[in-house]
Amino acid sequence: MIKWVKYLTHMRKKVGISRIFTMLVVVLLLGVSWFLMFGFDFVWKDSASYSPIPAFTRSPGSTTKPTASPKTSPVSGKTTIQFNVPFAPQAPFGEWSDDRQQDGCEEASAMMAIHWVKGDTSITLEEAKREILAIADWEQEKYGNYHDTSAKDTAGRIFKEYYNYDNVRVERDITADDIIKELERGNLVVVPADGIALNNSHFTPPGPERHMLVVVGYDYSTSEFITNDPGTRFGKSYRYKKSVLFDAIRDYPTGYHVPITKVDKNMIVVEK
């Protein structure tokens, strides 16, 4: 290498080769010599700081598999759980101007659950309206209010007092899987929710801030809860994605549109 540099310097003086050309040739020779000695390995190791990227490190023979929800029930082996619960909207004939029906989701949900307990598979619109109004009038007479009832008061007042049905309980701080477990046990679930977050296209926009509906099943193959949603006449067996329904679950205080200051994930469990 040194001989080549001396030779180029001699030729530059002898034949007038420019200094710049001589320097370019020297740099090129240095580069070729470096490649012959080290190759590219040093360059790659230096740029990676000699450390593999953690996301790409694997144990020998290991494979990476995404975590997936089961496609069938671990209890029954079926793809879907669904109870035959009679359905009726909270305003059976669309009379939403009546406050008792406008705010009748708790009454309608409890009514559907109780008829399921009795073994009924259907209920007429006339029967549903009559029953929803009867519950609301009873609440007004006894408690001075029928508008919104929390999960605790829906269970205590409507189920236990009005219907005289005690095989019902309230579970607090639940997860989505807690709902599925109750369904697996053969129990019905009633949940309070933020109706706006449900994003149901059949609701009058933006939807009710305080809403209650009945969870009648779960589809493992699509990760959907199956509901009887009294907020719409299209609510029979209405499906919500698992995450959508659970994210919307939010208990609310009893009273007329009392401000909601926190998110409580509660549910009412109805057993036969």
Three-state secondary structure of 59-103: CCCCCCCCCCCCCCCCCCCCCEEECCCCCCCCCCCCCCCCHHHHC
Structure tokens that stand for 258 in this block = 């009392």
Specify the residue for token string 């029953």: 131
Q: What is the pLDDT of residue 266?
A: 98
Residue 204 pLDDT > 80: yes
**Contact assessment for residue 149 and residue 254, using Cβ atoms and an 8 Å cutoff:** yes
Domain 80-270 top-level CATH class: alpha beta
Q: For the chain, which residues make up each domain, given as ranges?
A: 2-47, 80-270
Q: What is the pLDDT of residues 105-150, one digit of tens each?
A: 999 999 999 999 999 999 999 999 999 999 999 999 999 999 999 9
> Which tokens in the block code for residue 75?
């209890």
pTM: 0.74
**Average pLDDT over all residues of the chain:** 84
| Percent of the chain whose predicted confidence (pLDDT) is above 90 | 71
pLDDT at 27 over 80: no
Closest CA to 89 of 66, 112, 117: 112
Can you state the angle between helices 125-143 and 105-118, rounded to 10 degrees?
A: 120
Q: Which of 240, 269, 248, 258 is nearest to 103 (CA)?
A: 258
- Crossing angle for the helix pair 2-15 and 19-38, nearest 10 degrees? 160
**68 compared with 71, residue with greater pLDDT:** 71
- The residue ranking higher by pLDDT, 269 or 49, is 269
Confidence of residue 38 (pLDDT cuts 50, 70, 90): very low
